[in-house]
Amino acid sequence: MLSSGSPPPSAPAELVYPRSTIATRKPAAPPEVSREKPARQWQAPIPWVTDWIDKNRKLLFAIAVLPFVLTFNGRWRIGLDSATYRGLGHALALGRGYHFGEFATKQAYPGLPLLLAGLEKRPEIAEALNASFDRMLARYREVQAELPELAPKPKKRDYRRRKRG
């Protein structure tokens, strides 16, 4: 049996320390690290790239705007904020100020409500919208009369799961 201070037969003597020196040795201090960031060197831009961008800036702008122009169809897309913008525009058109509900003034930017308020003040636009709605309703009734199978049907009740009392 070996004592705790003597090295095992196969290990070199310099790797084995007596137990008393391991417990009393102080840990080494960590190396000092500089907290200053190294100075960043300014790099000159590649001149031919910036010259090319400057020369072709109109083409690059057209390429950036092209997807927006191609996908614009001019239709009002009803979304979650539609009522907010319409309500703010209506309040502005009636002269009640930029107020609609509790959170609408904090949520919506004023650009679209101002545009909608200006459109609402023009009577010919309101007449055109009402006329187009009347035409749409008349066409819907014509189609419903010709093809009644397209009309939504009421749901049938499921009597298998009715409560018995």
Q: What is the residue-level pLDDT of the chain in tens, covering all 165 positions?
A: 555 555 555 655 555 555 555 556 666 777 777 677 777 777 767 888 888 999 999 999 999 999 888 877 766 666 667 778 888 888 888 888 887 777 767 777 888 888 888 888 887 877 887 788 888 889 888 988 888 887 777 777 767 766 665
Asked whether residue 118 is domain-assigned, the answer is: yes
Give the whole-angstrom CA distance, residue 81 versus residue 111: 14
| Amino acid identity, position 94 | L
Q: What is the 3-state secondary structure (H, E, C) of 16-62?
A: CCCHHHHHHCCCCCCCCCCCCCCCCCCCCCCHHHHHHHHHCHHHHHH
Asked whether residue 71 is domain-assigned, the answer is: no
Q: How far apart are the first and last CA of the chain?
A: 86
Asked whether residue 57 is domain-assigned, the answer is: no
Q: Which domain holds residue 88?
A: 82-149
Asked whether residue 128 is domain-assigned, the answer is: yes
Q: What is the rounded radius of gyration, in angstroms, for the C-alpha atoms of the chain?
A: 39
Asked whether residue 95 is domain-assigned, the answer is: yes
pLDDT of residue 14: 58
Cβ-based neighbour number of residue 87 at 10 Å:
17
Per the structure, the count of domains in the chain is 1
Asked whether residue 103 is domain-assigned, the answer is: yes
Asked whether residue 107 is domain-assigned, the answer is: yes
pLDDT of residue 47: 83
Asked if 84 contacts 101 with a C-beta cutoff of 8 angstroms, the reply is: yes
Asked whether residue 90 is domain-assigned, the answer is: yes
Question: Can you give the pTM of this predicted structure?
Answer: 0.34
Asked if 104 contacts 88 with a C-beta cutoff of 8 angstroms, the reply is: yes
